[in-house]
Chain A
Amino acid sequence: MSKAKILTKGFFKENPSLILVLGMCPTLAVTTSVNNALGMGAATTFVLLMSNMIISALKNIIPDKVRIPCFIVIIATFVSMIDLIIQGFLPALSESLGVFIPLIVVNCIVLGRAEAFASKNTVFDSLLDGLGMGIGFTISLVLVAAVREILGAGSFMGMQFIPSHYNILLFVLAPGAFIVLGFVMAAVRQIVNKVEAKRKAKAVCAK
Chain B
Amino acid sequence: MEYILMIIGAVLVNNIILVQFLGICPFLGVSSKVNTAAGMGVAVIFVMALATLVTSALQKYVLVPLNITFLQTIVFILVIASLVQMVEIMLKKLSPSLYKALGVYLPLITTNCAVLGIAIKVTEQPLIAAHGFSVIDSTIYAVAIAIGFTLAIVIFAGLREQMELVDVPKGMKGVPIALITAGILAMAFMGFQNLV
Q: Is B71 an interface residue (CB 8 A)?
A: yes
Given A106-B113, A182-B179, A190-B171, A175:B187 Cβ within 8 A: yes
In the assembled complex, the Cα of A14 lies from the Cα of B123 at a distance in Å of: 37
B-facing residues in A11-25 (Cβ within 8 Å): 21-22, 24-25
Interface flags, A66-84, vs B, CB<8A=1, else 0: 0011001100110110011
Cβ A105 vs Cβ B186 within 8 A: no
Name the B residues within 8 Å of A76 (CB-CB).
73-74, 77-78
Which residue, B22, B25, B71, B176, has most C-beta atoms of chain A within 10 A?
B176
Instruction: Say whether B21 contacts A174, CB under 8 Å.
Output: yes
Contact residue among B24, B179, B183, B189 (Cβ-Cβ distance under 8 Å from A185): B179
Q: A79 to B54, alpha carbons, bound, how many Å?
A: 22
B185 to chain A, nearest CB (A): 8
The stretch of B4-12, B55-63, B87-95, B114-122 that contacts the partner chain: B114-122
CB B66 to nearest CB in A, in angstroms, measures 16
User: When the two chains form their complex, are residues B182 and A178 in contact, meaning their CB atoms are under 8 A apart?
Assistant: yes
Q: Which residues of chain A in 27-85 are interfacial with respect to chain B, using CB atoms and an 8 Å cutoff? A: 28-29, 68-69, 72-73, 76-77, 79-80, 83-84
B127 contacts chain A at the CB level, 8 A cutoff? no
Beta-carbon contact of A177 and B175 below 8 Å: no
The interface centre, meaning the residue of A28, A72, A186, A190 with most chain B CB atoms within 10 A of its CB, is A186
Smallest CB gap from B85: residue in A: A69
Q: How far is the CA of A102 from the CA of B22 in the complex (A)?
A: 13
B101 located at the interface, meaning its Cβ lies under 8 Å from any Cβ of chain A in the complex: no
Q: Is A159 located at the chain interface by the 8 A CB criterion?
A: no
Decide yes or no whether A183 CB sits under 8 A from chain B: yes
Inter-subunit contact A102/B72 (CB<8 Å): yes
Q: Quick check: A189 and B113 within 8 Å, CB to CB?
A: no
Within the assembled complex, what's the spacing in Å between the Cα atoms of A107 and B116? 11
User: Chain B residues with Cβ under 8 A from A186's Cβ?
Assistant: 169, 171-172, 176-177
- With A and B bound together, what is the CA distance between A105 and B172 in angstroms? 30
* A179 located at the interface, meaning its Cβ lies under 8 Å from any Cβ of chain B in the complex: yes
Q: Decide yes or no: A179 and B180 within 8 Å by CB, A105-B77, A173-B190, A174-B18 being known contacts.
A: yes
Q: How many angstroms from the CA of A55 to the CA of B82 in the assembled complex?
A: 21
Are the C-beta atoms of B74 and A77 separated by less than 8 Å?
Answer: yes
**CB pair B74 A185 closer than 8 Å:** no
Q: Are A174 and B190 in contact, with the CB atoms below 8 A?
A: yes
Q: What are some 16 contacts across the A-B interface (CB < 8 A)?
A: A24-B25, A24-B28, A76-B73, A76-B74, A102-B73, A103-B113, A105-B77, A106-B113, A108-B25, A176-B183, A178-B179, A182-B172, A182-B177, A182-B178, A182-B180, A185-B175
Task: Give the A-binding residues of B (Cβ under 8 A).
Answer: 18-25, 28, 70-74, 77-78, 81-82, 111-113, 116-117, 120-121, 124, 169-172, 175-180, 182-184, 186-187, 189-190
